Amino acid sequence: MPLRVRKDNFLRKLTVTSVFLLGIANLCVPLVAEAAWIRGGVKLNLRTGPGTEYRILGLLETGDEVAILSEQGDWTEIQVTADGKQGFILAGYADLEPPSAIKILELESQVKELISQLRKSQSASKGLGEKAHVLKKSEEELRNKISLLTAENHSLKSPSRWPEWITGALILSSGMVIGGILRAILNRSKRQHRIKL
């Protein structure tokens, strides 16, 4: 087989395989639907097809959450979030913004969560305040100990020489007294041993 024919067969097979794989990939990807809510104080029939001649599947009320799948003229294909039913409603009744009542419920839920977080924070803050007070007392005690130790260290390092002087004076005085006593004893013993002529 010539090289050109091989190349053409390979390209054909590659193209067919690519198209096949893209087709399978498209089937596997779910449709992306927009979240919406039924608007304004109405009750809508959910129908099996885009028209009033189609059978009614259920009833939708204001605030029911739905997913918009497609638009077909005056009708919107939706899927009800709560039970997964799929059907059609008249166009214009699905609003991308949640109704006020749902917004209020969401906000109330957020407020409750924030209040809970605030209470936890206040409790933690109180605990931290108590710990700070204990640490402050401990710091004051340590500062006092440091002051005492610094004063003691200073007194030990200070060049006061008076204890040495007193010690030296006592040693000198003691030596003089002992020397005087010894002299007196020696003088007395010399006198007694002398022979008189």
| Structural tokens at position 188 | 């007395």
pLDDT score recorded for residue 123? 87
pLDDT tens string 39-76: 777 888 999 999 999 999 999 988 888 999 998 889 99
- Mean pLDDT of all residues belonging to the chain: 82
pLDDT tens string 73-122: 899 999 998 898 999 998 888 878 877 777 888 899 999 999 999 999 98
Q: Report the C-alpha gap between 121 and 112 in whole angstroms.
A: 14
Q: Which helix (H) or strand (E) holds 34?
A: strand 34-38
Which of the four pLDDT bands, split at 50, 70 and 90, describes residue 141? Answer: very high
For the chain, helix, strand, coil in percent to 5 are: 60, 20, 25
Q: Report the C-alpha gap between 102 and 64 in whole angstroms.
A: 9
